[in-house]
Each structure stands twice: as structure tokens, then as C-alpha cells.
Amino acid sequence: MANTAVTPTRMVLNQLKGRLKTARRGHKLLKDKRDELMRQFMDVVKLNKQLRVRVEEGLTGAFASLQVASAIMSPEMLEQALLYPRQSVELGMDFKNIMSVNVPQYSFHTKNNDPSEIYPYGFAQTSGELDDALDKLARVFEDMLELAQVEKTMQLLAEEIEKTRRRVNALEYVMIPELEGNIKYISMKLEENENATKVRLLKVKEMVLQDAHHYQQ
Amino acid sequence: MPDQEKIVFTRAEEKNGQGTSRLRIAVIGGRETVMGFKALGLTTCPAANAQEAREALRHLTRDSEDYAIIYIEETLAAQLSAEIDIFKDSPTPAIILIPGREGSIGLGQSALKQAVERAVGTNILGD
């Protein structure tokens, strides 16, 4: 594991120790971030599941009513009735920060606040079933809006969790072991040098003593 | 002096554009699916087949940035997954699948499953 490209000096050792400390700290922080993101994510997933079921049921109901309406009225009449909308929707969007992930928050305004204004036609030539269908659709639409917000949040959180998880894994299984390996390599090399120096000194001392006093061991 | 005023004005406009600006919602789907939404004041793009839906989606996402939410009928979205995936990681637009006239075919749930699989690494919902 030890990368032989590192130079075994005390300075590099100190640098590597500093980096290891930073990596450990970063690893801990990212792990905490991942756990918190995951907790938020599971809440969002639960909400999304409920909303999805509600929207699908609501839409199926609304479409069924619309089907009935289109069976009663002629296609041309139906088309004409819905051709020119009286209502118009404006969407406001803000961003909310969840663990540094910017998720959209929608707020919506209709131009006409009167709920009865959703019918863009006169009542004389249309059937009651059409009113019913539009009413259902208008009601399910609020859920649809929330679903859009929740689903986008879910996707953005999923992306962030994936990224964070990769970073945590990279630190845990690559960066930190590599740094540790390098530190071990350098400290062993330094120790070895130290031993070599000690032995050399002993040898030199012996030689000097022998030279001076014809000292024999 | 007038130059300065102009700059201030454009900045205010930009800020407004990024904040709570007036955005719109679009629906892509079969003619009958889309019809009802028109009465609610949404932008509707009737599409008879995947090709038309693809063009509508391209038109909505490329030519203007006004659309924050795009609802697409499941049956059409099934063939547009590559295009839809592009927008998964960007904050806007949100592309949401809705069931068509024939009822749900379960594709809407797949977005949920995909996200969970992506985040956790495996499907922990048990379905």
C-alpha cells in the first residue's frame, strides 16, 4: 500500500500526519452529513409514496368523470367548452436549504381566487359531469403540485446522498489507509536510518579507540 | 448618472428572476388527458406519440426557462427516459409522471424506487 513516491523525511511525515488528521475529521463530518441526509430522505420518500397514491387515485377518478362527460357531450362541444381557459396559474418558486442541498419550494397563485371560476364555459350547453370532472381535477391538482415539490426534493437528496456516500467511502477505504501506510513507511524508514547511524557511530568509536590505545576487545 | 440607474434596474430584475418569479406549469400527454388541465390554466402540449412528446419536451425545456414543473403521461414517458433523466439532478424543471386515461401503469412509482436505490444502494422499500 505504501506509496514509494514519498520521500522519507521528517517534514513529509509531519505533512502527512496533518493530512491524516484532516481526512479523519472530514470523514467523521461527512458521515454525520450522510446520516442526517438519509434521515431526511426517508421522511421525504414516505411522503412521496403517500402523495403518489393520492394523486394517482385522484387523477383516475377525474379522468373517469371526464370520460363520462365526453360520452354525454359531443367531442366538438367538449373541445369548445375547454378551449379557452378563464383560469391561469402562476407558479412562484423559492429554494429551501436542506443540508446544503437547494430544493425548490413552489407556491401557486391562480388569477381568479373564486373557486367557481374554474369553469371556462357557460352552463347552458355543457353537462354537469364536466363540472364534476373539472372540480375533481382542480382538487387533485394541489396534491400534484406538492408531489412535484416532494419528488424533486427526493431526487436532489438522492443525488447528494450518493455523492456524500462516495466521498465517505473514498476517505474511509482509500485516502485514510493510504496516508496511514505512508506514515508507517516513513516512520519505519526514519527508525532504520537512526539505527544505521547508531551502529555507524559505535563502529567509528571502536575504530577511534583502537587507533588511539591499540585497544582490543 | 442615468447609466448607474440602469444598472440598478437590471440587477433588481435579475434578482426577481431568480427569486419568486412567475413560472409556469406544463402538461404533456394524450389529447384527452391534457384537455382537462387546460381548463385549470396550465400549458398543455397534446402529443399523440413519443416523437411528438419528445419535441414538446425539448421545446419546453430548451426554448424557455419559464416552466418549473412538467407533467408527462406515463405511457409517453416510458419512451423518453433518457431525456427525462437529464433533468433529474438539476433543480428545475421538475418532471413528474402522471397516469394517463387508462390508469396507472406503475411507472410513477419507479422514480421513487430509482431514487431510493441511488441513495441507499439497494431497494429497502421491499416492493
ipTM metric = 0.77
Q: Report how far residue B94's alpha carbon sits from residue A146's, in angstroms, rounded to the nearest whole number.
A: 11
Instruction: Flag the least confident range among A74-88, A202-216, B2-16, B78-92.
Output: B2-16
Q: Please tell me whether the overall predicted TM-score, pTM, comes out greater than 0.90 for this model.
A: no
Residue A84 has pLDDT above 50, yes or no: yes
Residue spans of alpha helices (H) in B24-106: 31-39, 50-62, 74-77, 81-86
Q: A127: closest CA among A86, A69, A53, A166?
A: A69
SS3 of B106, please?
A: coil
- What's the pLDDT score for residue B40? 79
Chain B residue numbers touching A155 (CB-CB < 8 A):
88-89, 111, 115
Parse chain A into domains and list their residue ranges.
10-212
- What's the pLDDT score for residue B21? 59
Q: Report how far residue A94's alpha carbon sits from residue A153's, in angstroms, rounded to the nearest whole number.
A: 13
Residue B25 has pLDDT above 90, yes or no: no
Mean pLDDT in residue range A117-137: 75
- What's the pLDDT score for residue B114? 84
Q: Give B91 or A166, the one with higher predicted confidence.
A: A166
Question: Which of B19, B99, B115 has the CB atom closest to A155's CB atom?
Answer: B115
Q: Cβ–Cβ of B24/A91 closer than 8 Å?
A: yes
Contact status, residue B67 vs residue B43, Cβ threshold 8 Å: yes
Q: Report how far residue A1's alpha carbon sits from residue B50's, in angstroms, rounded to the nearest whole number.
A: 53
- What's the pLDDT score for residue A113? 59
Architecture of domain A10-212 in this structure: Orthogonal Bundle (1.10)
Length of chain A: 217
Structural domains of chain B sorted by starting position, each given as residue range(s) with its CATH number in brackets: 2-101 (3.40.50.10580)
Instruction: Quickly state the pLDDT bin for A91 (edges 50, 70, 90).
Output: confident
Chain B residue numbers touching A98 (CB-CB < 8 A):
none
Interface size A-B, in CB pairs within 8 Å, comes to 144
Strand partners, B70: B26, B95
What is the residue-averaged pLDDT of chain A? 86
Q: Which residue of B has its CA nearest to A143?
A: B98
SS3 of B91, please?
A: coil
- What's the pLDDT score for residue A34? 93
- What's the pLDDT score for residue A3? 53
Q: Cβ–Cβ of A45/B116 closer than 8 Å?
A: yes
Could you tell me which residues of chain B have a Cβ less than 8 Å from any Cβ in chain A?
Answer: 19-25, 32-33, 35-42, 68-69, 71, 88-89, 91-92, 94, 96, 98-101, 103-104, 108-109, 111-112, 114-116, 118-121, 125
Q: Give A58 or A88, the one with higher predicted confidence.
A: A58
Instruction: Flag the least confident range among A13-27, B5-19, B70-84.
Output: B5-19
Enumerate residues 6+ apart whose C-beta is below 8 A from B32.
Answer: A63, A66, A70, B101
Q: B35: closest CA among A134, A129, A74?
A: A134
Cβ atoms within 10 Å of B78's Cβ, excluding its own: 15
Q: Report how far residue A188's alpha carbon sits from residue A39's, in angstroms, rounded to the nearest whole number.
A: 44
Chain A residue numbers touching B108 (CB-CB < 8 A):
52, 56
Strand partners, B38: none
Chain B residue numbers touching A94 (CB-CB < 8 A):
19-20
Chain B residue numbers touching A93 (CB-CB < 8 A):
20-21, 23, 68, 92
SS3 of A97, please?
A: strand
Taking only the tens place, the pLDDT of each residue in A128-186 is: 778 888 888 888 888 898 899 999 999 999 999 999 999 999 999 999 999 999 999 99
Q: Which residue of B has its CA nearest to A47?
A: B112
Q: Which of A42, A52, A95, A117 is the best mutation test for B, with the most CBs of B within 10 A? A: A52
Q: Which of B98, B107, B125 is the best mutation test for A, with the most CBs of A within 10 A? A: B98
Q: Report how far residue A82's alpha carbon sits from residue B114's, in angstroms, rounded to the nearest whole number.
A: 36
Residue B22 has pLDDT above 80, yes or no: no
Residue A29 has pLDDT above 70, yes or no: yes
Identify which of A85-99, A147-161, B36-50 has the greatest average pLDDT.
A147-161
- What's the pLDDT score for residue A176? 95
- What's the pLDDT score for residue A77? 75
Residue B55 has pLDDT above 80, yes or no: yes
- What's the pLDDT score for residue B104? 73
Chain A residue numbers touching B71 (CB-CB < 8 A):
144, 148
A132, A134, A136, A139 alpha-carbon torsion, rounded to 10°:
-140
Chain B residue numbers touching A87 (CB-CB < 8 A):
39-41
Question: Which of A49, A67, A92 has the CB atom closest to B112's CB atom?
Answer: A49
Instruction: Flag the least confident range among A158-162, A205-209, B75-79.
Output: B75-79
